[in-house]
């Protein structure tokens, strides 16, 4: 289903936030006891973004007992990229082996 044209003009541009801003927003929720919704409204953020930051901060604070820590997420991203590259290399070698096997007959 397509959106009406009026919605597209009111769409906010994607914003980027510093790590310090994210940390202070998370502190409002975790340390000062504000709800995610209230803190998001106060800081003009989407609840989804703040909830994600809080979830990641909780994982970091509990050394991964409640989810992946930042270091684990970085390692996972690096390993996924490495795995994708290795799969591409393997596929190339398979094709080369098939090509040369056909040539030697």
Q: Could you give the angle at the alpha carbon of 75 between the alpha carbons of 63 and 24, nearest 5°? A: 50
pTM assigned to the model: 0.58
93-104 core/surface letters (b: 16 or more CB in 10 A; e: else): eeeeeeeeeeee
pLDDT in tens, the chain (105 residues): 555 555 556 777 888 999 999 999 999 999 999 999 999 999 999 999 999 999 989 888 887 777 788 889 899 999 999 999 999 999 999 999 999 998 877
Picking from 59, 73, 72, the residue whose alpha carbon sits closest to that of residue 26 is 59
Domain 16-67 in CATH 1.10.1900? The answer is no
Write out the two tokens for 91: 């596929």
Please give the DSSP secondary-structure letter assigned to residue 40: H
Contact between 43 and 25 (Cβ < 8 Å): yes
Q: Are 29 and 18 in contact (CB under 8 A)?
A: no
């Amino acid at each position: 289903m397509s959106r009406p044209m009026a919605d597209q003009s009111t769409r906010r541009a994607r914003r980027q936030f510093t790590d310090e801003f994210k940390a202070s927003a998370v502190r409002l929720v975790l340390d000062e006891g504000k709800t995610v919704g209230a803190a998001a409204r106060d800081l003009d953020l989407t609840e989804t973004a703040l909830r994600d930051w809080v979830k990641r901060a909780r994982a970091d604070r509990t050394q991964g007992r409640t989810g992946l820590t930042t270091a684990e997420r970085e390692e996972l991203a690096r390993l996924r990229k490495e795995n994708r590259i290795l799969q591409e290399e393997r596929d190339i070698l398979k094709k080369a082996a098939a090509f040369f096997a056909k040539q030697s007959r």
